[in-house]
Amino acid sequence: MKNQITNAISDFFFEYETPRQVLVRNRRVGVVCRIIQLVVLAYIIGWVFIYEKGYQSTDIAVGSVFTKMKGVGYTSINGSERVWDVADYVFPSQGDASFVVMTNYIITEGQQMGKCPELHGKHNCSSNADCEGGSFKRTGHGQMTGECVDETKTCQVLAWCPVEDDLVIPDPPMLMSAENYTLFIKNSVTFPLFGVSRSNLVEGIDAGYIRKCLYHPENAPLCPIFRLGDIVKLSGFNFETIATVGGAIGVVVDWTCNFDVAVTHCKPKYTFHGLYGNPAETDKVRASVGYNFRYAQHYMEDRIPKRTLFKVFGIRFDIIVQSLARKFDIIPTLTAIGSGVGIFGVATVVCDLVLLYLLPKRAFYKNMKFKYTDTHAQTISLFN
């Protein structure tokens, strides 16, 4: 027993077992095997290493965005001239990554709380019975008093009077000059995994350059100052159309970087996308077209609280930062190589299936590949 245990331990530590291999000279099987191996090799080199860059680790940036608008607009309505600056047409005014530039508006001046007839089409009536006192309608401007105004044939409401009339949108837009406003984008990103920080004010973008540059996808692709008309055009929309009823445009700042080369090659790329609607759509009857909101300027007149109501149509800009950085790393490289070597086993499996089940001489190949033992004969030989 002691010798058996010693021999078993010796065999375990000092012997190496290797699978038995059979060399098969068969043209068809050999071609199938090589084709599969070439496909696997092309997948590993072409897809895993070259396209997917499986030899690199990846990181996503943490970033911040600051924006600043510049430009002056001018309107003249019934002889009343007005100049609009940044404080008037940008909402909000803090320089966020998401903001609205007013391009069109409807003003209702001198509103005060009181009772007045509703707008035609909101609460039409023929008698007081059609106006339920104390009730509201979702599309209305106030609370119904229960009276029907004979002059307008609409219900009387308790609201800010006179009620807003927004049925007719100014066309062309009131602030068509917004096409020439400029937007300055300042963006910084940090890739924590690689310890790299970058700004869109890259090498060569200094104060002198910024004062005179204007973004162009070919002539000035790194300039951080954009003309609004160019942004709308590059997103595929017509400026006058989108300025009339409003819309939304995304400015994408793309940081796709390869840190296997110099960090200075990591530079932003700007793209522009319409976030609402399709530039090819011309159907003006579809629901909820454009982008608009309301705000009011409150004041006192003869101790009576009043307000000026603005319905603002504008272009909403969303500055979207997307990033992906890569750098060589031995761990994903070894992982990719190991998975590739494992996939090579597919060729062996396929060729074994062909040999053992499809070829005319499959019985012969089975005898060559497998060694059979007769358990009953082995038992008799042990006892003899």
pLDDT in tens, 180-212: 999 999 999 999 999 999 999 998 888 889 989
User: Is 154 part of any known ligand binding site?
Assistant: no
- The yes-or-no verdict on residue 85 having pLDDT over 80 is yes
pLDDT of 382: 47
DSSP string across 176-244: GGGGG-EEEEEEEEEETTTTEEEESS-TT--HHHHHH---BTTTBTT--EEEHHHHHHHTT--HHHHHH
- The yes-or-no verdict on residue 381 having pLDDT over 70 is no
**Alpha-carbon dihedral sign for residues 18, 20, 26, 29:** negative
**137-144 LR contacts (CB < 8 Å, sep 24+):** 142/118, 144/118
User: Is 69 part of any known ligand binding site?
Assistant: yes
Domains of the chain: 24-55+329-369 (1.10.287.940), 62-109+182-327 (2.60.490.10)
Mean pLDDT of 221-246: 92
**Residue found by looking up tokens 């603005």 in the block:** 310
Alpha-carbon distance values, 374 to 93, 270, 321, 358, 365 (Å): 90, 74, 71, 27, 19
User: Is 292 part of any known ligand binding site?
Assistant: yes
Q: Of residues 291 and 34, which shows the higher confidence score?
A: 291
Instruction: At 4, list the tokens.
Output: 């058996």
Q: CB 61: neighbour CB atoms within 10 A?
A: 22
Question: Which of 37, 36, 55 is CA-nearest to residue 335?
Answer: 55
User: Is 3 part of any known ligand binding site?
Assistant: no
User: Is 294 part of any known ligand binding site?
Assistant: yes
State the chain's mean pLDDT as an integer: 86
Mean pLDDT of 86-97: 88
Residue type, 364: F
Q: Which of 46-50, 110-114, 240-244, 318-322 has the lowest mean pLDDT?
A: 46-50
pLDDT of 72: 93
pLDDT of 288: 59
User: Is 311 part of any known ligand binding site?
Assistant: yes
